[in-house]
Amino acid sequence: MRTKVALAVIIVVLVLAVVLLAGAIVRRWIRVLPYPMGEGQYQASPHGRYEAHAFDMHDEDFWGNERDYYELSVLDKSSRKPIRTVRMDPIPGEPRFRMYGEEQVITWPEDSKSVTFSFQGIEVKINLGQETPADK
């Protein structure tokens, strides 16, 4: 009889441990579900075919590893698919630049063959003069 009671106690303790562990895993998963997230700006090209996006992003994985980065991309406006994307880490020791705000980061030339992203003394130019997937 004593063995049955001890076995029942062990089973209850194990079930509670599994339920608590599952609850902790679900809670953490819900916490990191919205990542990556960020803010930024966008601007259509002069001829209206492309759209440039500049975002400062923050990501966190299930284990708590965090990463900040910038994402610069050009999309085909008709398909909403990215044509070119550049991801880069912030400059070490510098404060993270916020892409969302009054400062204009994106500059298009009149011919829409390239786009320039300028921030924190950095200039990234993406050339679109070659044939892109959107041209095919």
pTM for this entry: 0.73
For residue range 82-106, what is the model confidence (pLDDT) as tens digits? 999 999 999 888 888 888 877 899 9
Q: What is the mean pLDDT of the chain?
A: 89
- Give mean pLDDT, residues 115-122: 92
- Give mean pLDDT, residues 44-72: 93
How many other CB atoms are there within 10 angstroms of residue 61's CB atom?
Answer: 11
Are the CB atoms for 53 and 71 separated by under 8 Å? yes
For residue range 32-56, what is the model confidence (pLDDT) as tens digits? 888 888 999 999 999 999 999 999 9
Rounded Cα distance, 106 and 114, in Å:
11
Sequence spans of domains, the chain: 1-33, 37-135
pLDDT at residue 129 greater than cutoff 80: no
Long-range Cβ pairs for the range 104-107 (8 Å, 24+) = 104/41, 105/40, 105/41, 105/54, 106/41, 106/42, 106/43, 106/52, 106/54
pLDDT at residue 27 greater than cutoff 80: yes
**pLDDT at 19 (0 to 100):** 93
